[in-house]
A and B are shown apart, each in its own frame.
Chain A
Amino acid sequence: MGHFNIPGLFLFDPLSLFFLSVIALVSAPSAVYSIGYLKGESSKRKIGLARLLLAIFLASMALVVSVKNVFIFLVAWEIMSLVSYFLVVFDTTHEKSIRAGMIYIVMTHIGTAFLVAAFALMYKYAHSFDFTAIKSASLTMPAQIRNAIFLLLLVGFGTKAGIVPLHIWLPYAHPQAPSHISSIMSGVMIKTAIYGMIRFILFILGVDSCWWGVLVLTIALTSCLVGIIYALMDKDLKRLLAYSSIENIGVILLGVGLSMFFASIKMPYLAVFSLIAGLYHLINHAIFKGLLFLCAGSVYKATGTRDIEKLGGLIKNMPQTSACFLLGAMAISALPPLNGFVSEWLTLQAFFLGASAVTGPARLFLGISAGLLALTGGLAAACFVKAFGVTFLALPRSRFAENAKEVPLSMRAGMFFLAAMTVIFGLAASPIVRTLAKVAGSATGIDVGKMAFCVNNFMLSPQPGRGIYLSTPLLCLILAAFGLVGFAAYMLIGRRKAVICKTWDCGYYKFGSRNEYTATAFSKPFRIAFSFFLLPYRKTQKIRESFYHIRSFEYETHTTKVFKKYIYEPAIALVFRSARSMKRIQPGSIHLYLSYIFVTMLLLIIFMHKF
């Protein structure tokens, strides 16, 4: 077993430091935000409890990314899971929270079981829990064992990361937690699973089979598409964000998977570059998803509902929250010059560079993957146009939205900080990429000293001499210039032509919020386009007074959750069925239980020699 000495327990290499900084970057504003968010929500004691749990949660996450001992890692991992469970069910007044917590804790423990199996296999060969010992022992492991460990780790960490089809808990648990916790869970906690994958698969095991990367890429692409399509369909603001987290985890895993792929076919430069793209998207997602969850929490706090069909027009009552949400939505939709754009651009470049470097079916695969990533980006933009447009624009759709007020300063402070980060991480792309190169180098064990990732502080160039450049400050200047020119032209020429009058409404004269475009209507084209996957069904009911006049009209539409219906529900039904058949020998009769013991004893005596 070996004894644990404290200095030998921690590992502060660039990868750990990177993840520690991601944790700090999102947790600090969320913690500030929680001051205002929790006020008036519950009793003083419960708020104290919430702070304590938050502190334990952050400490356990920090421990997860900084220990170098598998055993301690597992303990910290489990503390993290349990504390986040308590935080999910924190709002105990809702039955939904309890249910969400149940799904979460079951799924997360299934994941942990896989991790334990993987670590046990590692221990069998290394005879040590230490990372370095396992790393050196991994060279001598037979190929099947390595493959088994890889698959176990993928399922184990994948459950926490929320990859499809193990994502089932994510859209339940993230929306039910208090918003600052959702922000940390979505922004940071699921990233610890990515840390686990990078640390254990890339760093410790080392990738030598090509199919590992291909498998991760396939899963990542599925997660991207499934996540964003579900996000498009959803009308609960926080659940929409949770689904979008699944998509973004997919994008991050595309970087990680590409890195595995290139590492296995001995292309160190591209391996490092892809990992940079993945890590960059990871930190970006932490920032903008944290921001969006905080904004969604503000909306919830101000209106008391998360259903975007009941919101609308909030931009007038909550201008600052709206501005923050808009910035976050733009970043997540990968609009330049914000941070989301840089990382998606890098990921796409990694695909293109990879596709031009390899030949045969791999080239086709990478090309198609790049296409699907682009599709994901487009759908993400549509999704956040819907989220922002329906929530913040037009007229309020209900009393909740009409009476909304701007949230207190402590909440806004958290949002402003993260909103500023989306801009900074977009503009300062070059120095960040250079820093991330060191992280990626240490994670993959490749010397990055000779590789050139950027030309100067303002310009980004993945491969010098290929003519591919990106400069976000320059882009920002160009956009600003265009904006200024447009504004000037409007001020000089177009201004007087404006005529203010009522919107034409076909002579109806009762134009109100009920005439507005709804979220369901907005997503209808996508529902039709992806009907093969969403399996939508609808129910309409008309009550007519006469042929011309319809008194009431009901319209109901739902989509089928394919994974839940065809994977999870049969599995759960199977468990219940076997439990019911087990119940037959457990009827609660004391005599029967005693006679089980008796009969066992008699059989043991009779068949003594057989055993």
Chain B
Amino acid sequence: MHVIMLFGVLLSSYLMVATKRISALIRTFRYQSLFLFMATFAVALKERQAELYAIAGLLLVIKVLAIPHFLYRIIKRIRPSEDLGLFINAQLSLACALSFTWLSWVFTSRLITPPGGTQGIMITVAFSVVLAGIFIMVSRMMALAQIIGLLVMENGLFLLASTVSGGMPFFVEIAIFFDVFVSVIIMGIFVYRINKLFTHIDVNKLSSLKG
């Protein structure tokens, strides 16, 4: 069950890398967070720990509901063009994401012996999600993609932390959730401001600001 959810996380990151539209990106991010929530919830059911339930709840509230809702509100407010602005086209991006998964598999198999097993799969998925996140940040022009890329990376790190160290301490986990939430709000406001000032949110054009 847990592993299936993990594949859901991985699959949604492929979808995100391949998508061309902003609203689709946000929607897929919501699916990824949902899969992550379900994976955590499955573990919580198995281990029967109150803290894990709380973390899963927070995941649901913040990453599945609040953040996508907030991002939707921003795009409704500023009405950017739907196009994400791809530096690398969708097919090639997907190929890249697949190669990242292979790379993280190789990396993981060097890290733990014997390779394979649930833990190996989890680390592989976590790494490829992190790489997919940063890939979205690098290869998409619109500022909203940078926000979502960062959130995807955070999802990957969450997964990595929960595999490698069996989850971070509860308070750290909560603090991270709120950090992420606050940073999304701040970045959202920035995007809003950038749009107001320059009438676009194309990060690539911001380089004309330098002296």
Contacts and interface: CB of A to CB of B under 8 A. Distances in A.
Interface string B90-125: 000000000000011001001000000000000000
Contacts of A605: 103-104, 107, 127
B124 to A, nearest CB: 12
B207 interface: yes
B191 to A, nearest CB: 13
Interface string A595-606: 101100110011
A598 B132 CA distance: 10
Given A589-B204, A590-B203, A597-B134, A606 B103 contact: yes
A608 B138 contact: no
A45 interface: no
* Contact count band on B: 20 to 34
A595 B139 CA distance: 8
B135 interface: yes
A437 B134 CA distance: 73
B207 A598 contact: no
- Chain B residues touching A, majority SS: helix
Interface in A309-368: none
Given A605-B103, A608-B110, A609-B110, A588 B207 contact: yes
A601 B104 CA distance: 12
B160 to A, nearest CB: 13
A353 B27 CA distance: 94
Contacts of A597: 134
Nearest to A591: B138
B87 interface: yes
Interface residues of A, number: 15
Nearest to B137: A594
B210 A588 contact: yes
A587 B208 CA distance: 10
Interface string A580-595: 0000000111110011
A601 B138 CA distance: 13
A595 B138 contact: yes
A134 B127 CA distance: 54
Contacts, number: 41
B210 A591 contact: no
Nearest to A597: B134
* Residue with the highest number of chain A CB atoms closer than 10 Å, among B87, B138, B204, B210: B138
Interface in A552-611: 587-591, 594-595, 597-598, 601-602, 605-606, 608-609
B82 to A, nearest CB: 20
B134 A589 contact: no
Contact of A594 (B110, B131, B134): B134
Nearest to B149: A594
B207 to A, nearest CB: 4
B107 A608 contact: yes
B45 interface: no
Contacts of A591: 87, 137-139, 141, 203-204
B206 interface: yes
A588 B209 CA distance: 8
A436 to B, nearest CB: 57
Contacts of A587: 207
Contact of B135 (A590, A598, A606, A608): A598
Interface string B131-152: 1001101110100001000000
Nearest to B139: A591
Given A588-B210, A605-B107, A606-B103, A594 B138 contact: yes
Nearest to A609: B110
22 contacts: A588-B209, A589-B204, A590-B203, A590-B206, A590-B207, A591-B87, A591-B139, A591-B141, A591-B203, A594-B137, A594-B138, A595-B138, A598-B134, A598-B137, A598-B138, A601-B131, A601-B134, A605-B104, A605-B107, A605-B127, A606-B103, A609-B110
Interface of B: 87, 103-104, 107, 110, 127, 131, 134-135, 137-139, 141, 146, 203-204, 206-207, 209-210
Interface of A: 587-591, 594-595, 597-598, 601-602, 605-606, 608-609
Q: Lowest 10 CB-CB distances: which A-B pairs, in order?
A: A588-B210, A588-B207, A595-B138, A589-B207, A594-B138, A598-B134, A590-B203, A605-B107, A594-B137, A598-B138
